[in-house]
Amino acid sequence: MKTSNKLSINSQYEKFIERFFKWAKTRQDIRAAIVIGSRARLDHPADEWADLDIIVISTNPEYYTSEAEWVDNIGNPLLTFVEPTPTGDTMERRVLFEGMLDVDFSIVPKRGFQQLLQPGINPQTTVQISNIFGRGMRVLVDKDGMLAQVRKLLESIQNPTPSPPTQDEFVQVVNDFIYHSVWTAKHIRRGELWWALGCVNCKLSFLLLRMIEWHARVTHGWNYDTWLRGRFLEEWADRRVQKGLRKAYAHYDREDIAEALLGAMDLFRWVSIQTADKLGFSYPTSADRQVADWIESWLLKENRTH
């Protein structure tokens, strides 16, 4: 029954893609459209829970972000809204269609997309293009031949190998984490649980992920695939890291936030020291110990008070 449901959902997405393709071909302003993400990947392809990501390259991008009526032409929407893409340089319209089909339309101006394809692009842009298209792309519309240029560019950059952090970059992340550990403890003591919770579950989490990625690559080699923003972490991160993560996140509860802070600090300390040893870096042991002692002391007082 589960397999049948999976095929049914994927079939619904394929029918949706076909409807979008036919509609996009009739739109003079849509110059190209590409499926990216899991529905264009061979490695970790789409399952029944995957959404659909479509990049729409248009000479009139404002229409697709300011107006919503156009989505009625390709499906029956339940709701839609607009937000920045993860890179923050373009907008995307997210739509939930009947059948719980969730589709992200990243709306890209043609002129801006063409600039990405110019010779001599900077390394940051190269990485961005590789992250977006490097794992797979499925061309739906290409009226101006731009996507052939993308394929050629991908062949030339061949997924650049990440570089190890410098000592300064490493210490920056460590110091940022330790500083915000103190910040979180103070907000717990003040009773500002929302802010403390946000720091543990978001700010410290992002810094921890950076260190986990470095740890994985320094262990397995800098070509080791850690995906993007923690995707498939359960497959590539150290088992001890995954075990430690169970204690590094909190509920909206004073005592739980305090315990999660200590759990996050313990895990970050372990993975950072391991990474520093393998990179030949120094770790700010003295500052870390003083901060940990101070936080544990204050949190013990907190527990006795409440």
Domain boundaries, the chain: 2-157, 167-305
Give the CA angle between residues 144, 153, 31 to the nearest 5°: 20
Q: CA separation (Å) from 241 to 26, 33, 165, 210, 271?
A: 51, 39, 20, 13, 8
Joined together, the tokens standing for residue 147 give 């996507």
Distance CA 77, CA 79 (A): 6
What the block records as the tokens of 79 is 């709701």
Query: CA angle at residue 254 from 248 to 255, to 5 degrees?
Result: 65
CATH 1.20.120.330 fits 167-305, yes or no: yes
Predicted pLDDT of residue 300: 66
Confidence of residue 1 (pLDDT cuts 50, 70, 90): very low
**Homologous superfamily of 2-157 in CATH?**
Beta Polymerase, domain 2 (3.30.460.10)
In this predicted model, which residue has the larger pLDDT, 281 or 133? 281
pLDDT per residue as tens digits for the range 221-264: 999 999 989 999 999 999 999 999 999 999 999 999 999 999 99
The DSSP code sequence of 60-123 is -HHHHHH--GGGGGTS-EEEEEEEE-TTSSSEEEEEEETTTEEEEEEEEEHHHHHHHTSTT--H
Give the pLDDT of residue 28: 97
**What does the pLDDT look like over 135-179, one tens digit per residue?**
899 999 999 998 888 887 777 766 557 789 999 999 999 999 999
